[in-house]
Amino acid sequence: MDQEQESRYSVKSRIGDLAFFGGTPAFEDALHVGRPNIGNRRKFDERVHDILDRKWLTNAGIYVKEFERRIAEYAGVEHCIATCNATIALEIVIRALGMAGEVIVPAFTHVVTAHVLQWLGIIPVFCDIDARTHTIDPNQVDRLISSRTTGILGVHLWGRPCDIEALSDIAKRRSLKLVFDAAQALGCTYGGRMIGSFGTVEVFSFHATKFLNSLEGGAIVTNDSELARKVRLMKNFGFAGNDSVECIGTNGKMNEVSAAMGLTNLESVTDFISINRRNHKQYQDGLAGLDGVALLPYQEERSCNYQYVVLEVDESKTMLTRDQVMRILHAENILARRYFYPGCHRVEPYRTLYPNAHLHLPETECVAARVLTLPTGQVITPRIISAICNIIRTVIKNAEEIGKLLQGMPAN
């Protein structure tokens, strides 16, 4: 966004200033939650030219190997296997571990976490979350284990680690596989250790919306050498050599251009985290003291990537629902997202398969109705954040009157 557009921001103090009620939108261009961060473009171009000159585009080229080595080093693990995306990575891991029957998974997560299990013929058993952290509640996990349970699939949501210690204890005591979906947690720590080295195995995502992207991609990280060997075979059709196939496999390989982007962005990872931290702090300051609206805090004693700015809207205090606030922001071209609404249990095929699941997921239901994520990342400047906070404050300040105006309007 250029300086000329930024200079047009105006303070909105009245309902009539808001675009939803006839005012001019605050932003001409849409502000997205997951706009890609991009590192040194010159360096990326150099790598792409080298790839084209080498004419080695995939199949474990030099950039994929370097990316794997650098991610393993960054996460503090022995093995990293780069993949075409994190979904395939999870599928390969679950197959490699021989998980079957039932696997316990949080209901409040990206639906792909459940889809991977269902796709492989495994029943996802939805577990409630801790409302303070939005991550899977270990106390509920213990109650859901049955004779068919073979594993726990925890999710480090928003880059906030699960209660790894409690989940590890349960998995060990009940002889279960423990896998972590760490799609959002690169660069975060737990107990002084980088996420990536916990459980049997963890999976990262480098999708374009993640704070560190490889255009599209994922990675499997583990300290289990035998598992790493098996995973490498499985992501390459099971090939151990040109004419030797040792096991069933699929095509999960990362290509060289994706690895080049991943390497380029990894070289700027400290800058990306610094920007995210700055943005989160400004949102925190800009919305401080606003009744009924609160940012989910990060634990400052841990390293984290501050990748998401997560707002909770308490309707009982604001007199406006989260969805009403979202509609007003969207009219300003602030495309806030209600991640991970409405919860995995309320989308197909799960709402048909498990129609009563919501009865056992009260915290998931509550959080899914309150959460709104705000734009952040490399393209979001301090002036933009000031304008967004100004709009939210104006909305909440005039909530009672806005609520009356919204009565009778269609929900969408």
Q: Which residues contact 187 (CB under 8 A, 6 or more apart)?
A: 74, 159, 194, 195, 211, 212, 269, 273, 303, 304, 305
Inter-residue contact 56 to 256 (CB < 8 Å):
yes
Residue 411: its pLDDT value, please?
A: 67
Q: What is the pLDDT of residues 22-48, one digit of tens each?
A: 999 999 999 999 899 999 999 999 999
| pLDDT tens per residue, range 175-204 | 999 999 999 999 999 999 999 999 999 999
Which pLDDT tens digit goes with each residue over 274-333? Answer: 999 999 999 999 999 999 999 999 887 789 999 999 999 999 999 999 999 999 999 999
Spell out the residues 6+ positions from residue 352 whose beta carbon is closer than 8 angstroms to its own: none
Question: Which pLDDT value is given to residue 198?
Answer: 97
Residues whose CB falls within 8 Å of the CB of residue 225, separated by 6 or more in sequence, listed in order: 78, 79
Give the type of residue at 34: G
- 208 pLDDT band, cuts 50/70/90, is very high
CATH topology of domain 3-32+269-406: Aspartate Aminotransferase, domain 1 (3.90.1150)
With 80 as the cut, is the pLDDT of residue 53 above it?
A: yes
| 111 burial level (CB within 10 Å; 0-12, 13-18, 19+) | middle
List residues bridging with 311 in a β-sheet.
295, 372
Distance linking the first and last C-alpha atoms of the chain: 28
- Mean pLDDT in residue range 110-115: 98
Q: List the structure tokens of 356.
A: 């009563």
What per-residue confidence (pLDDT) applies to 7?
A: 45
- For 58-94, write each residue's pLDDT tens digit: 999 999 999 999 999 999 999 999 999 999 999 999 9
Q: Residue 408: is its pLDDT beyond 90?
A: no
Q: How confident is the model at residue 3 (pLDDT cuts 50, 70, 90)?
A: very low
CA nearest neighbour of 75 among 299, 266, 275, 234 = 266
Domain residue spans of the chain:
3-32+269-406, 41-266
Q: Which residues contact 239 (CB under 8 A, 6 or more apart)?
A: 233, 245, 246, 249
Structurally, at CATH architecture level, domain 41-266 sits in 3-Layer(aba) Sandwich (3.40)
Q: Give the pLDDT score at 212.
A: 98
Query: Which two three-digit tokens encode residue 291?
Result: 């009744």
pLDDT at 300: 76
